[in-house]
Amino acid sequence: MSSRRLQMRWHLRQVMATRGIFATSDMVPLLADRGIHMTRQYVHKLVTNAPQRINTDLLAALCDILDCQPNDLLEPVALQAEQARTGTDGHTEEGHGIGALRPIRATVRRPHEHSE
């Protein structure tokens, strides 16, 4: 059984590149001009990692700087999340019922014994 989960993909770096902005530090003064004051390190983190949350003022400033829409920066993607199988649901990965599984006899050997 699987369930559907949404994840947001973050395209800030790609949109910046299409606008000719390659250095994350170039964004710091552009954001400051729009009232968003961030450290160079935080801007770098914002560009290189998808944020868990984003302030709407920051999103608006990014869209203004990059002349884009929010959907150019954020893309919802549906993921299929597999539920863990317990082995008691009656199916194995091959699709057989659990009754089709048979143990394999093990051979125990002592370290000084060699198989031929």
- Examine residue 48 and state whether it is found in any structural domain, yes or no: yes
- Examine residue 105 and state whether it is found in any structural domain, yes or no: no
7: domain CATH number?
Answer: 1.10.260.40
pLDDT for the residue 107: 78
pLDDT for the residue 75: 93
pLDDT per residue as tens digits for the range 73-86: 999 999 876 655 55
| Helices within 19-104 (DSSP H only) | 27-32, 40-48, 56-66, 70-73
Closest CA to 32 of 73, 68, 64: 64
Does 87 score more than 70 pLDDT?
no
- Examine residue 50 and state whether it is found in any structural domain, yes or no: yes
Quote the tokens at residue 94.
């091959």
| Helices within the chain (DSSP H only) | 12-18, 27-32, 40-48, 56-66, 70-73
- Examine residue 7 and state whether it is found in any structural domain, yes or no: yes
Q: How many domains does the chain have?
A: 1
- Examine residue 116 and state whether it is found in any structural domain, yes or no: no
The residue range of the domain holding 16 is: 2-80
pLDDT per residue as tens digits for the range 9-26: 999 999 999 999 999 999
- Examine residue 11 and state whether it is found in any structural domain, yes or no: yes
- Examine residue 14 and state whether it is found in any structural domain, yes or no: yes
For residue 11, the SS3 value is coil
